[in-house]
Chain A
């Protein structure tokens, strides 16, 4: 489902003589598999997710998602590919403030390749599935942080994307709520056979999953002209 091979990406200059470079020799995830990405802050976990979500393009190497080499796609095709194949859940929920829970989910189904009929019914269905059947018409500020993350999960799965990308989905939650959200993500991934890539700093949660990728060292400082090669 996901394949990265010898991928490198320049993330900017660290100094006049060195550049910040992401490099991943090889990484593969099978369809329906769940992988947790661990490692210290700034090590490249989110960059890896962004490459898979086609929010970033690799400078070199191969990124294949759902059997499509992302390097071959135009920007508009990348947008469509992302909308069709990837559902994203982020640490700070990223709900749209003017809209209710059901509208946040509906809007996710309104754009690009996700356009579909009966969006309202589908949004209602997924919100009930994540336990928000009675909060359909609440605005983000009227929801608890756990409920907001549930809306974000509902939005990510509503379009039927086979890949779920969760960037520290429990990072803003208290431990109990974090555990509930973690369980919910696993549940929707397992029940629907979705591929789940999840970033977490919580070693206890990471330990519960069978496959982990330690991302330490994916981002490094690379010498441009003279000097010593060091970890970023």
Chain B
């Protein structure tokens, strides 16, 4: 019978204590894994998305708010800017790609983004098209729309289906439904693992038409003038990719100076947000997790010490049978390593399993697609440290068993 088999049998013999110790370690490990993996994945997902665009131009307001509204479809936009600014930006020789965004309506909480066909020419950082159609075609008619992959899956809408937009960016009961303007689904985008999967894309013209009709009605009631000249039309924001990211700061500064709008650099805003808001929360969570792991390691130490105390007689018996000091110490150490190993394995499973479960509501709420089973380097290091702590905790009772003289314990009664 091997050391491993013997140690396993001893652990099985004290199954309740073994179970509780493994659970204690697993909870600590799970917390550490979940926090580290969540931090890594959220950073990766946020940065990946923010990195798609070099600039977001919008009305005066908070740059972070502008980025959250335009890139992640999360916050309210800062304010409109003239449509003519879009033309100027597209014509700028430093701009590789630019697309307008007109927001104002939603369907079942999913934002309807008015844009033009140029939006879908966005290249990824390798120069390949970022958007790909899963089926159908990009809008040809003013009221044709196509759906982000998550919207298609969640809403059950498919090509040829029609629906009405509701005024506002969030789905609130009693919202104003634009029943005179049915949208027809013409296509569905392939998944992009970004917030764009949670958007519905229509023409800018449809957004203008719906809201100008509403304005016309309100103007008729109030007797005020109507804005119908294309030169006076507005967009919510403009997304832009530059020929080289090095131009970002220069252009952002230039836009701020020359017009009544702001230009935000998404990656800068997101990193600032992560470091300023998410970072401290994650550090606090990590500190809690480290405390839990420390307690778990102390539990291993206590459990093994108590087990070794209870087994003084068994160790003495083994010694009386000719077992070497090193052999009984190795047996006790193996038990500790098994306990720690099982705790780490279950904790890993629990942490990443929990993250896998949480990734679904996170995706639904924010559009961020996490890879819950990916293990970041920091997590590997943390696991290594925890394994070392467990091994160190196992060493104490092993040394104690090594030092004991069998004669002291051999005459203990059953």
Contacts and interface: CB of A to CB of B under 8 A. Distances in A.
B313 interface: yes
Interface in A47-94: 50, 53, 55-56, 75-76, 79-80, 82-84, 88, 90, 92-94
A208 to B, nearest CB: 26
Interface in A157-216: 159
B321 A55 contact: no
User: Which of B1, B321, B324, B410 has the most chain A CB atoms inside 10 A of its CB?
Assistant: B321
A96 B407 contact: no
Contact of B410 (A55, A96, A107, A108): A55
A50 B323 contact: no
A112 interface: yes
A91 to B, nearest CB: 9
A55 B407 contact: yes
B300 to A, nearest CB: 20
Contacts of A99: 9
A76 B324 contact: yes
A166 to B, nearest CB: 13
B126 interface: no
B6 interface: yes
Contacts, number: 76
A114 interface: yes
B413 A92 contact: yes
A93 B318 CA distance: 13
Nearest to B412: A92
Contacts of B314: 96-97
Contact of A55 (B10, B318, B320, B327): B320
A111 B6 contact: no
A86 to B, nearest CB: 8
Contacts of A107: 1, 6, 318, 321
B408 to A, nearest CB: 10
A49 B321 CA distance: 14
Contacts of B323: 79, 83, 111-112
Given A93-B414, A94-B410, A111-B327, A84 B13 contact: no
Chain A contact-residue range equals 20 to 34
A128 interface: no
Interface in B282-333: 313-314, 317-327
A84 B318 contact: no
A110 interface: yes
Nearest to A114: B322
A106 interface: yes
A88 B6 contact: no
A90 B320 CA distance: 10
B12 interface: yes
A97 B327 contact: no
B114 interface: no
Contact of A80 (B13, B317, B324, B411): B324
Contact of B320 (A76, A82, A92): A82
Contacts of A82: 320, 322
A119 B321 CA distance: 14
B406 interface: yes
Given A94-B317, A107-B6, A79 B1 contact: no
Contacts of B10: 98
Contacts of B327: 111-112
Contacts of A124: none
A55 B406 contact: yes
Nearest to A98: B13
B200 to A, nearest CB: 64
Contacts of A119: 1
Contacts of A75: 325
Contact of B322 (A50, A80, A96, A103): A80
Nearest to B318: A111
Interface in B352-380: none
Nearest to B2: A110
B410 A98 contact: no
A210 B407 CA distance: 30
Interface string B192-214: 00000000000000000000000
Given A111-B321, A114-B321, 10 more contacts: A50-B407, A56-B407, A92-B414, A93-B414, A94-B414, A97-B13, A107-B1, A112-B321, A159-B321, A159-B322
Interface of A: 46, 50, 53, 55-56, 75-76, 79-80, 82-84, 88, 90, 92-94, 96-99, 103, 106-108, 110-114, 119, 155, 159
12 contacts: A55-B319, A76-B325, A80-B324, A84-B322, A88-B320, A90-B411, A94-B317, A96-B314, A97-B314, A103-B1, A107-B6, A112-B327
